[in-house]
């Protein structure tokens, strides 16, 4: 059984066939899925999916791309949604993205800190999206020693991964591991303790080879498990069992 620890099944890319796909996934061996929110609207959609499908869980949060929506009212709503819905297992996805910078850095940092504080208050893990913002990301992580979770679609160095793991964090890997130019991610996936690795699709994005460029979905996660098995010298069954267990520990399920 595979655990897709980061999938956006509420994305409009799935509007055409969501029900068929979501009915099929458990039959294809995907036994658990975490669907994080990217905004207030998608957090609500994630909860709706979690209510409808046993194997889907939800997280609530505003992605750095939606950092400008984070205010007292939104934070209070996230707080209430976590308390009302037992299938909300994390705050996310939250973080920093300095690649496009559509949202100014100060606003991103403010939203990230506010949602880290919410996770601290609720005692929940967080799902962090951090792209080209390693220094500020680590600084904010350090400000909240009581909060940990997962750095998803990991793009940092081996040194930073070790630093995070020492603070109780997990490292998420997806389709990038199967790409030809993935040298840095492969080095991290090869070297860090296997107990801290979780698998994810980040679908509909980041489809693994040989599906690269197409719509991704949790049914393609087996390709990432195969690649990690090859890297670590373990069987695919062992990788599935270990990473599923890791995901359950991460999200306290
Ligand atoms: Ni995501």
Residue 240: what are its φ and ψ, rounded to 5°? -60, -50
Q: Which two tokens stand for residue 21?
A: 């796909």
Q: How far apart are CA 7 and CA 5, in angstroms?
A: 7
**C-alpha 6 to ligand 1 mean position (Å):** 6
The answer to whether the beta carbons of residues 36 and 128 sit under 8 Å apart is: no
For residue 94, the CA-to-ligand 1 centroid distance in Å is 9
Distance, CA 203 to ligand 1 centroid (Å)?
A: 7
CA of 163 to the centre of ligand 1 (A): 22
| Residue 172 CA to ligand 1 centre (angstroms) | 11
Cα-to-centroid distance, 175 and ligand 1 (Å): 13
CB contact at 8 A, 67 and 95: no
Per-residue pLDDT of the chain (253 residues; tens, 9 = 90+): 999 999 999 999 999 999 999 999 999 999 999 999 999 999 999 999 999 999 999 999 999 999 999 999 999 999 999 999 999 999 999 999 999 878 999 999 999 999 999 999 999 999 999 999 999 999 999 999 999 999 999 999 999 999 999 999 999 999 999 998 889 999 999 999 999 999 999 999 999 999 999 999 999 999 999 999 999 999 999 999 999 999 999 999 9
User: What spacing in Å lies between the alpha carbon of 201 and ligand 1's midpoint?
Assistant: 9
- Measured between alpha carbons, how far is 150 from 167 in angstroms, rounded to an integer? 11
Give helix 72-84 / helix 40-52 axis angle, nearest 10°. 10
Q: Ligand 1 center to residue 64 CA distance, Å?
A: 11
Q: Tokens representing 101? A: 């910078």
Q: What is the pLDDT of residues 181-194, one digit of tens each?
A: 889 999 999 999 99
**Domains of the chain, first to last:** 2-250 (3.20.20.140)
CA of 9 to the centre of ligand 1 (A): 10
The SS3 of residue 131 is: strand
Ligand 1 centroid–CA 65 distance in Å is: 11
Tokens coding 86 = 């037992």
d(CA 132, ligand 1 centre) in Å: 15
Ligand 1 centroid – CA 96 distance (Å)? 12
The rounded radius of gyration (Å) of the Cα atoms in the chain is 17
Residue 169 CA to ligand 1 center (angstroms) comes to: 17
Ligand 1: centre distance to CA 93 (Å): 7
The alpha carbon of 52 and the centre of ligand 1 are apart by a number of angstroms equal to 21
Per-residue pLDDT tens for 94-125?
999 999 878 999 999 999 999 999 999 999 99
- Kindly report the length of the chain: 253
């Amino acid at each position: 059984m595979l655990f897709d620890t980061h999938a956006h099944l509420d994305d409009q890319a799935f509007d055409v066939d969501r029900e068929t796909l979501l009915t099929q996934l458990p039959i294809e061996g995907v036994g658990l899925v975490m669907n994080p929110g990217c905004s207030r609207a998608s957090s609500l959609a994630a909860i709706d999916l979690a209510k409808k499908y046993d194997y889907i869980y939800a997280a609530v949060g505003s992605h750095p791309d939606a950092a400008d929506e984070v205010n007292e009212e939104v934070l209070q709503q996230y707080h209430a949604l976590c308390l009302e819905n037992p299938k909300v297992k994390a705050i996310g996805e939250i973080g920093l993205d300095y690649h496009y910078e559509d949202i100014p850095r100060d606003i991103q940092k403010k939203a990230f800190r506010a949602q880290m504080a919410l996770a601290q208050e609720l005692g929940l893990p967080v799902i962090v999206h951090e792209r080209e913002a390693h220094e500020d990301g680590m600084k904010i992580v350090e400000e909240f020693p009581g909060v940990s979770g997962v750095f998803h679609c990991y793009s940092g160095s081996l040194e930073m991964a070790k630093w995070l793991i020492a603070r109780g964090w997990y490292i998420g890997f997806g389709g990038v591991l199967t790409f030809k130019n993935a040298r840095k991610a492969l080095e991290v996936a090869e070297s860090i303790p296997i107990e801290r690795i979780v698998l994810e699709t980040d679908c509909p994005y980041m489809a693994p080879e040989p599906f690269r460029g197409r719509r991704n979905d949790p049914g393609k996660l087996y390709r990432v498990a195969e690649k990690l098995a090859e890297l670590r010298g373990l069987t695919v069954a062992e990788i599935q069992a270990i990473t599923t267990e890791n995901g359950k520990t991460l999200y306290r399920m």
